[in-house]
């Protein structure tokens, strides 16, 4: 019951999938596992964990994987489970009986040197009986770290967990859908604000935060809680652009000083949308919207302003009445992280007014602006998880 409540409290679907897979593996002492989410008539390979492979990585590194889709039919094990709704408990996938409609894909084992043996695959069904995905657990271990078949006695427990997980996933998907609909509204105004762009920025942000927080010795519970709200907040970093004039948003050339000042108001407008703070998410979203264009050396914007009325905070006025920009650690942590994620993605992407930069150019620019635009320690953290960030870019391509 406690676990079910904890799962439903996680709002972001990506953070939730990681937690679900870890808890499911813990329930049955599984070394590895994957989650597939139903998209139309296919299953999308959405998340994976492998403790044996992760132990081979340097401290703080995460397993890199590619996403792919498999048809919902009886030819693959995951497809069969999604198609039939049955649970499959296979003692050894290399010893499947002849005549079965499905087979085991050995390609991952051949590439990685990993040996998949026992496999427990079960559907993720909602309270309505609809299958929204498949959870696959691999290689059960006994107390002597030997691979054994999954116990038949564990199946009812796993299925009960799967039902709780499916309900939580469905709720998180609804939250993600609502955020993406808000993004689509912004996209109608500014073509740069696409679903792919905001998903990449959000995922980069979470990867940087997790790497940074791990080095700070922050507890796993706190990291997961912050990942949940930070990912959603990062998706909405530019939502304030809905309040900016089309003449400015869609201008093909460079903005003049007056237009640039008007454009900079999107940070305040975005924060203002979350002025009524009903949750920690509202707080995080306001912080990110307001601060993601501040610069470490104090040359960013909008500075020390109250997003409710747009007025300069007392004591922070410059001689011209404008706000002094925030500098260094005056910029909230979440704003400092999203700033890097946003610029990395903007430079790496094609825009109406520019071609995408080569990866080497983007990385050189980030290094060159460390200590100026960006916090040096955070840039160091970015490069420490660059392999993860580059894999995220492949997961959310522009269409």
By DSSP bridging, strand 42-50 and strand 30-39 are: antiparallel
Q: Are 77 and 96 in contact (CB under 8 A)?
A: no
Spatial CA neighbour of 249 closest among 269, 274, 273 = 269
Tokens, residue 122: 């079960």
Tokens, residue 302: 């909008």
Measured in degrees and rounded to the nearest 5, phi and psi for residue 134 equal -140, 135
Spatial CA neighbour of 102 closest among 71, 80, 85 = 80
User: What amino acid positions are annotated as catalytic residues?
Assistant: 241
Tokens, residue 210: 């997790």
Spatial CA neighbour of 213 closest among 201, 227, 202 = 227
Q: Are 301 and 255 in contact (CB under 8 A)?
A: no
Q: Are 37 and 44 in contact (CB under 8 A)?
A: yes
**Rounded CA separation 51/344 (Å):** 30
Tokens, residue 251: 């201008």
DSSP 8-state code for residue 245: -
Residue 333: helix, strand or coil by DSSP? Answer: helix
Spatial CA neighbour of 302 closest among 320, 273, 330, 322 = 322
- Rg of the chain over Cα atoms, rounded to whole angstroms, equals 23
Could you tell me how many helices (H) and strands (E) the chain has, helices first? Answer: 15, 7
**DSSP-H helix ranges across 93-219:** 107-112, 155-189, 195-216
**Rounded CA separation 113/9 (Å):** 37
Spatial CA neighbour of 244 closest among 308, 190, 298, 171 = 190
In sequence order, what are the residues at sequence separation of 6 or more whose Cβ sits closer than 8 angstroms to the Cβ of residue 211? 60, 381, 384, 385, 388
């Amino acid at each position: 019951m406690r676990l079910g409540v904890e799962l439903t409290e996680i709002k972001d679907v990506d953070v939730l999938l990681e937690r679900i897979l870890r808890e499911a593996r813990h329930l049955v002492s599984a070394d590895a596992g994957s989650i597939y989410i139903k998209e139309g008539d296919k299953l999308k390979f959405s998340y994976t964990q492998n403790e044996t492979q992760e132990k081979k990585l340097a401290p703080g590194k995460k397993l890199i994987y590619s996403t792919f889709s498999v048809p919902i039919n009886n030819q693959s094990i995951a497809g069969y489970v999604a198609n039939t709704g049955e649970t499959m408990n296979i003692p050894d996938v290399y010893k499947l009986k002849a005549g079965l409609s499905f087979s085991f894909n050995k390609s991952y084992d051949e590439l990685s040197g990993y040996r998949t043996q026992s496999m427990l695959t079960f559907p993720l069904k909602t309270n309505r009986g609809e299958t929204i995905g498949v959870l696959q657990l691999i290689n059960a271990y006994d107390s002597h770290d030997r691979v054994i078949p999954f116990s038949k006695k564990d199946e009812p427990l796993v299925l009960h967990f799967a039902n709780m997980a499916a309900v939580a996933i469905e709720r998180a998907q609804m939250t993600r859908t609502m955020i993406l609909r808000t993004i689509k509204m912004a996209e109608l105004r500014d073509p740069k604000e696409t679903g792919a762009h905001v998903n990449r920025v959000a995922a980069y942000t979470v990867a940087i935060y997790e790497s940074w927080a791990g080095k700070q010795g922050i507890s796993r519970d706190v990291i997961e809680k912050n990942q949940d709200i930070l990912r959603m907040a990062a998706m909405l970093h530019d939502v304030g652009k809905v309040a900016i004039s089309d003449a400015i948003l869609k201008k093909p050339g460079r903005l003049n000083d007056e237009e640039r000042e008007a454009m900079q108001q999107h940070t305040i407008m975005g924060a203002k949308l979350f002025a009524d703070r009903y949750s920690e998410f509202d707080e995080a979203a306001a912080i990110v919207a307001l601060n993601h264009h501040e610069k470490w050396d104090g040359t960013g914007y909008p500075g020390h302003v109250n997003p409710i009325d747009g007025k300069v905070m007392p004591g922070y006025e410059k001689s011209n009445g404008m706000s002094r920009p925030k500098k260094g650690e005056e910029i909230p942590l979440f704003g400092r992280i999203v700033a890097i994620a946003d610029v990395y993605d903007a430079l790496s992407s094609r825009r109406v007014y520019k071609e995408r930069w080569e990866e080497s150019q983007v990385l050189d620019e980030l290094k060159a602006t460390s200590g100026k635009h960006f916090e040096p320690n955070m840039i160091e953290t970015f490069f420490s998880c660059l392999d993860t960030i580059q894999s995220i870019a492949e997961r959310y391509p522009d269409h």
